[in-house]
Amino acid sequence: MSEAIVKFENVSKSYGNRLIVKNLRFSIKKGEFVTVMGRSGSGKTTVLKMINGLIKADSGGIYVYGQDISKCALVPLRRRIGYAVQETALFPHMDAYRNIAYVPHISGWKERDVKARVEELADLMNLPASVLKRYPDELSGGEKQRVGIARALAARPDMMLMDEPFGALDGETRNAVQDELLKIWRRYGTTIFFITHDENEALKLGSRIMEMDKGALKERTERHDG
Amino acid sequence: MIKETAEILFGRWDFFLPLIYEHLEISAAAIIIATAAGLFLGVLISQYKILSPYVLGATNIIYTIPSIALFGFLIPFTGVGNLTAVAALTLYALLPMIRNTYTGIANIPPAVTEAAEGMGSGKIQLLFRIKLPLAMPVIISGLRNMAVMTVALAGIASFIGAGGLGVAIYRGITTNNAAMTLAGSVLIALMAFTADLLLGAAEKAIKKKKYLPLKIASAAAVFLFAALFFTAGDRDGVIKIASKPMTEQFIISEMLKMLIEENTGLKAEITKGIGGGTGNIHPAMLKGEFDMYPEYTGTAWKFVLKHSDNPPDEMMIKTIKEEYEDKFGFRWVSLYGFNNRFGLGVRKELAEKYGLKTYSDLAPYSPGLVFGAEYDFFERDDGYSALSSYYGYNFKSTADMDIGLKYSAVNSGKVDVINLFTTDAMIPVSDIRILEDDRNFFENYHIGTVVRKDTLEKHPELLKALELMDGLISDEEMAAMNYAVEAEKKSDRETAAEFLISKGLLKEAP
């Protein structure tokens, strides 16, 4: 558990003259579940999107799986990183099955393998077969989140980037999907970078808890174990 | 009127069916090309936003050009006929396609495209798997508007010699047959309505996410149109006859076709009623889009050769023939005999009372008479005032009137003298005497066949067939045939056949 999967070296990013990320240095080791808190506008999402190259850094170096992402091809890199965002952003024109199958499809998997993988994930995320045939606007909030997580996991990524994926859920459902996520993390050892507003969520899920403030990521040292 | 329209619709399917087919062909071609090009440009400007004001601006400008003007602009490039029609319709159809594609893509929630990108979609995958499918409802509603507009607008295409149901409308207008015009309009409306219905169903299917039936339907449509285009067939080796939008030209062109097919074994095809007449037919003849058309000496002299004097017939005809050969490589083959010129008509009882035979005879009596003509005649340089000063007329008063009302006005005594064309349909049934232009004020409009020389060289047997028209038709006979078509609603083909049979040039109607 010592290999750094993500490494930021003196990374800065500003919008106009507003400095959002200032000389950021940090790294994520393989298998860590990093939860990140911080006020809105503090730059959490910017950091997350810099990891998969959706946002480019102004200066500094970002290395993912040991590759400098300003130099390597982003499309194959992104396919190795699961991505789940607020409100899930499911594709409205695809049913749940095809949403989950999206990355395997664009990566050119055989249909037989895709089907087996979707069924495996549906089982894992407690999604019955009838739900797989529904379109996003026919799913409940909890079902949408489960589909969103299943979609992010579909191509067996080594790492997942999750930006407040459970923000819109009520307490009970939220608890249930949190437990499912923890189960997956424990079973597969997937590295997770997870942004949340909710301190309880950050403490419950994270193996390492950080806070974004004034352009820097700081370790939260105190832990509330049990 | 409704009854007459229904009779025409059900009674003349052989006339309408090919027009419907051609209308479908022209509109479908424009719709398919505009859809492909519009999608491409819409996608392009949504990827490269810097281009969007230019592309949208340019198509907006095209969209505001009146359709007749756009057809006019295109004729020098694409000629007279279906190609121009398809080009113009495509240009109009571009705007709704581009705009809706662009808007449809721009309105996709950014979170959705970003999620797709963050998961590792390539540019092409993003476009075809996410952007286009999500923009599809907006694109389809643009397609729906565009298709209805194109089907309706294709009706105007016949003004520049294209086929389609506009031919029926235009034929109705030029031969004073309102039921025919209405029948063509009803069919166009039905086609537009059907297109709207089908695309509306497609739109609904997309909203309900029933993609499978939609895929089957669009595959079937593509197959159908492909079949349509491949059966369109080869028209080389067919003699192409053009005609101006006038009843007598329709009848004459039918005669030419019958004489050619009866006597040569060649096939002939008529494009009836090309809007703008000589102005569009002459350039098309030069390009070889048509092989022949009936033309008037007066038009050739003034409009084509741009002479301003008015020499005696023999000299004018000789000069026209020479200049046509030298300048254009066209030959004038035979003159049919009648002369469709401007003329003056007087109510018969007045003519007898004062002994009026010539234009000069009219001058001393003019202060006691009322002169009626259509508005245009009072405006043109070679019209009323030039005529009055040339012959010394001084009419008591003048009256503007619609062409269709002139004859009843003179019959009922509202006016005493009218201007007319010497083969007008109403002459045979009106109580008037046509006076003789003794001092040669109006040009003569003898009519003959203008033929491309290379067509005659390629098919030498044509000459003999075309010469059969020489001196065949008198003013009175032509006026009577015009009357048969305009007032008795006989078809031009039937009228032409009956006449040729009566002259022994045809055994039976084809």
Q: Inter-chain contact A79–B116, Cβ cutoff 8 Å?
A: no
Read off the pLDDT of residues B84-105 as tens digits, 9 standing for 90 and up: 889 999 999 999 999 999 999 9
What secondary structure does DSSP assign to B196-235, as a single string? Answer: HHHHHHHHHHHHTT-HHHHHHHHHHHHHHHHHHHHTS---
Q: Inter-chain contact A106–B115, Cβ cutoff 8 Å?
A: no
Is there a domain that residue B21 lies in? yes
Is there a domain that residue B509 lies in? no
Chain B residue with the nearest C-alpha to that of A89:
B112
Chains A, B: CB contacts within 8 A come to: 64
| pLDDT(A225) > 70 | no
The answer to whether the CB of A211 falls within 8 A of the CB of A38 is yes
Is there a domain that residue B15 lies in? yes
In a shared domain, residues B66 and B189 = yes
In degrees, to the nearest 5, what angle opens at C-alpha B42 toward C-alphas B41 and B47?
95
Give chain B's domain count. Answer: 3
What one-letter code names the amino acid at B225?
A: F
Mean pLDDT over A205-224 rounds to 82
Give the CATH number of the domain where residue B199 resides: 1.10.3720.10
Question: Above pLDDT 70, what percent of chain A?
Answer: 96
The answer to whether the CB of A37 falls within 8 A of the CB of A212 is yes
Three-state secondary structure call for residue B272? coil
pLDDT on residue B321: 94
For residue B120, give the nearest of A93, A103, A135 by CB distance.
A103
Mean pLDDT over A24-31 rounds to 92
Q: Inter-chain contact A103–B209, Cβ cutoff 8 Å?
A: no
| pLDDT(A187) > 80 | yes
Instruction: Write out residues in chain B with pLDDT < 50, as ranges.
Output: 233-234
In a shared domain, residues B134 and B64 = yes
Read off the pLDDT of residues A155-164 as tens digits, 9 standing for 90 and up: 999 999 999 9
pLDDT on residue B113: 92
Q: What residues of chain A lie within 8 A of the CB of B109, using their CB?
A: 89
Read off the pLDDT of residues A94-127 as tens digits, 9 standing for 90 and up: 999 999 999 999 999 999 999 999 999 998 888 9
Tell me if ipTM is over 0.95: no
Q: Give Cβ neighbours of residue A115 (< 8 Å, ≥ 6 apart).
A: none
Is there a domain that residue B507 lies in? no
Question: b/e per residue, A94-126, with b = 16+ CB within 10 A?
Answer: bbbbbbbbbbbbbbebeeeebeebbeebbebbe
Q: A136 pLDDT band (50/70/90 cuts)?
A: very high
In a shared domain, residues B488 and B346 = no
pLDDT on residue B253: 94
Give the CATH number of the domain where residue B376 resides: 3.40.190.120
* Closest-CA distance of chain A to residue B130, Å: 8
pLDDT on residue B10: 81
| pLDDT(A214) > 90 | no
In a shared domain, residues B393 and B413 = yes
pLDDT on residue A42: 87
Using the 3D structure, point to which of B231, B265, B283 is the last residue of a domain: B231
- In the numeric block, which tokens belong to residue A224? 């509330």
pLDDT on residue A180: 87
In a shared domain, residues B416 and B495 = no
Mutate which of A45, A74, A75 to disrupt the B interface (most B C-beta within 10 Å)? Answer: A75
In a shared domain, residues B130 and B151 = yes
Using the 3D structure, point to which of B434, B459, B492 is the last residue of a domain: B434
Distance (Å, whole) CA B241 – CA B493:
14
pLDDT on residue B231: 59
The answer to whether the CB of B459 falls within 8 A of the CB of B220 is no
In a shared domain, residues B145 and B274 = no
Could you tell me the sign of the dihedral formed by the alpha carbons of A138, A141, A144, A150, in that order?
Answer: negative
Q: Which residues of A touch B (CB under 8 A)?
A: 49, 52, 54, 74-83, 85-87, 89, 91-93, 95, 102-103, 105-107, 135, 151-152, 161
β-pairing, A18-29 vs A4-15, is antiparallel
The answer to whether the CB of A106 falls within 8 A of the CB of A91 is no
In a shared domain, residues B110 and B201 = yes
Distance of CA B100 to the CA centre of its chain: 33
Mean pLDDT over A206-215 rounds to 90
Q: What residues of chain B lie within 8 A of the CB of A82, using their CB?
A: 119
In a shared domain, residues B84 and B6 = yes
Number of Cβ within 10 Å of residue A171's Cβ equals 7
Is there a domain that residue B37 lies in? yes
Cα B76 to Cα B71, B82, B275, B279, distances in angstroms: 10, 14, 15, 11
pLDDT on residue A226: 38
In a shared domain, residues B41 and B118 = yes
Average pLDDT score, chain A: 89
Is there a domain that residue B47 lies in? yes
Q: Residue B423 belongs to what domain range?
A: 342-434
* Closest-CA distance of chain A to residue B109, Å: 9
Is there a domain that residue B405 lies in? yes
In a shared domain, residues B108 and B220 = yes
pTM of this structure: 0.72
| pLDDT(A222) > 60 | no
Using the 3D structure, point to which of B410, B434, B458 is the last residue of a domain: B434
Is there a domain that residue B442 lies in? no
Give the CATH number of the domain where residue B457 resides: 3.40.190.10
pLDDT on residue B212: 76
In a shared domain, residues B150 and B101 = yes
Q: Inter-chain contact A93–B209, Cβ cutoff 8 Å?
A: yes
For residue A89, give the nearest of B111, B122, B209 by CB distance.
B111
Q: Inter-chain contact B119–A79, Cβ cutoff 8 Å?
A: yes
